[in-house]
């Protein structure tokens, strides 16, 4: 019996381009004093990164699998096919890395970072071992990760005021201001709304932080009305406010760390947006406040009914990944896995 433990020392979240570091510990768990204790041997072991694409079969018609990636293992190969028997499609499978060959463990003995394990010297196999590569490869991976982090910070740190005039069919309602349109997961979307310059009275508004998932037409199971692409929306945060006689107001909507950044594939895309809904008065110059000066005390009540119009407006924004360490705290996942052979 052999126990294999794989541990991601930094956590389960990574940026594209980073080097994934995993500590593998192989142990013979039997104590030396056990009557049935004996040495255990493993012929070889390898590791690879595997990514499987899953989709709701009620909404998405997946394309046929790539004929270049057969689900049958050729007799001349000993490479594990981790996607065999799984639903969905394999969209990424890196070349396997040989960890060791002819490993023998006595009862109670264990091996880990595998520095003291003998590696095969065959030239065809040796270059695929992660422990035999030159230091330049590790330096390159580290440099790529740092560069990705710097570009991510630069893209989301740029601030510049963007102003949008909001109008309906009868005139200007107000002006919306936002200081940037690119965010990271975990940031707050802060915006201001100036209603003092409007010619149409706004009674109420709401703004929702939403994701829009769109399935491309050729992969849809059920088409929307008129053949439009199948689209679904999810609201992650919402602010609503009654704003009659309000000159200026603001809101802050947090982007959940556990949510998904925007992406695009040939099958499905995910975009972020701010979805506004406005309730405006049909009466020009609407005044719902009591007169300020009265010769004698009177009782004033507002109107029971006000004719209104409603309209909506969508403002696209971009949401990028965040620091892998920060994302690990928000959505903790297992960083250690154990298997007994």
Do 28 and 85 sit in the same domain of this protein? yes
Do 77 and 168 sit in the same domain of this protein? no
Q: What distance in Å separates the CA atoms of residue 168 and residue 202, rounded to the nearest whole number?
A: 11
Do 184 and 315 sit in the same domain of this protein? yes
Residue-wise pLDDT tens digits, 196-255: 888 888 999 999 999 999 988 888 876 655 554 578 899 999 999 998 888 999 999 999
Give residue 261's domain range: 162-218+230-284+307-327
Do 80 and 214 sit in the same domain of this protein? no
Do 187 and 98 sit in the same domain of this protein? no
- Domain annotation covers residue 55: yes
Residue 59 structure tokens: 């909404």
Compute the CA torsion angle 106, 107, 108, 111 (nearest 10 deg). 30
Residue 340 structure tokens: 């007994």
Residue-wise pLDDT tens digits, 63-96: 776 655 544 444 444 455 555 666 677 777 888 8
Identify the helix (H) or strand (E) that includes residue 162.
strand 162-168
Q: What are phi and psi of 193, to 5 degrees?
A: -130, 120
Residue-wise over 122-145: b if at least 16 C-beta within 10 A, else e? eeeeeeebbeeeeeeeeeeeeeeb
**CB distance 182 to 318 below 8 Å:** yes
* Total number of domains in the chain: 2
Do 315 and 204 sit in the same domain of this protein? yes
The pLDDT value given to residue 226: 54
Residue 274 has pLDDT above 90, yes or no: yes
Q: What distance in Å separates the CA atoms of residue 325 and residue 323, rounded to the nearest whole number?
A: 5
**CB distance 22 to 65 below 8 Å:** no
| Residue that finishes a domain, picked among 84, 102, 118 | 118
| Residue that finishes a domain, picked among 118, 147, 177 | 118
Side-chain half-sphere of 299: how many Cα atoms within 13 Å? 0
At 285, is the pLDDT very low, low, confident or very high (cuts 50, 70, 90)?
Answer: low
- Domain annotation covers residue 182: yes
Q: What is the pTM of this model?
A: 0.74
């Amino acid at each position: 019996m052999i126990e294999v433990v794989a541990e991601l020392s930094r956590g389960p979240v990574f940026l594209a381009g980073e080097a994934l570091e995993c500590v593998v510990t192989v142990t013979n768990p039997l104590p030396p004093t056990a009557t049935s204790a004996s040495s255990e041997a493993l012929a070889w072991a390898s590791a690879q990164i595997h990514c499987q694409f899953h989709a709701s079969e009620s909404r998405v018609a997946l394309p046929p699998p790539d004929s270049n990636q057969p689900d049958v293992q050729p007799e001349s190969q000993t490479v594990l096919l981790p996607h065999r028997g799984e639903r969905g499609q394999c969209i990424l499978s890196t070349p396997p890395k040989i960890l060791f060959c002819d490993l023998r463990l006595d009862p109670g003995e264990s091996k880990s970072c595998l520095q003291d394990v003998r590696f095969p010297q065959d030239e065809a196999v040796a270059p695929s071992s992660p422990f035999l590569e030159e230091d330049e490869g590790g330096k390159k991976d580290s440099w790529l990760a740092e560069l990705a982090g710097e570009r991510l910070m630069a893209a989301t740190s740029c601030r510049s005021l963007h102003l949008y005039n909001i109008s309906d069919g009868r005139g200007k309602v107000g002006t919306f201001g936002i200081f940037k349109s690119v965010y990271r997961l975990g940031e707050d979307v802060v915006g201001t709304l100036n209603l003092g310059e409007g010619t149409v009275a706004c009674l109420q508004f709401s703004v929702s932080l939403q994701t829009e998932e769109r399935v491309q037409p050729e992969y849809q199971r059920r088409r929307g009305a008129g053949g439009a692409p199948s689209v679904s929306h999810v609201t992650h945060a919402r602010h609503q406010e009654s704003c009659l006689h309000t000159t200026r107001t603001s809101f802050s909507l947090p982007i959940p760390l556990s949510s998904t950044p925007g992406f695009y594939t040939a099958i499905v895309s995910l975009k972020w947006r701010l979805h506004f809904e406005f309730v405006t008065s049909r009466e020009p110059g609407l005044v719902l406040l009591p007169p300020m000066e009265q010769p004698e005390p009177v009782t004033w009540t507002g109107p029971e009914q006000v004719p209104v119009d409603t309209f909506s407006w969508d403002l696209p924004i971009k949401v990028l990944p965040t620091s892998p360490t920060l994302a690990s705290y928000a959505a903790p996942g297992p960083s250690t896995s154990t298997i007994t052979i």
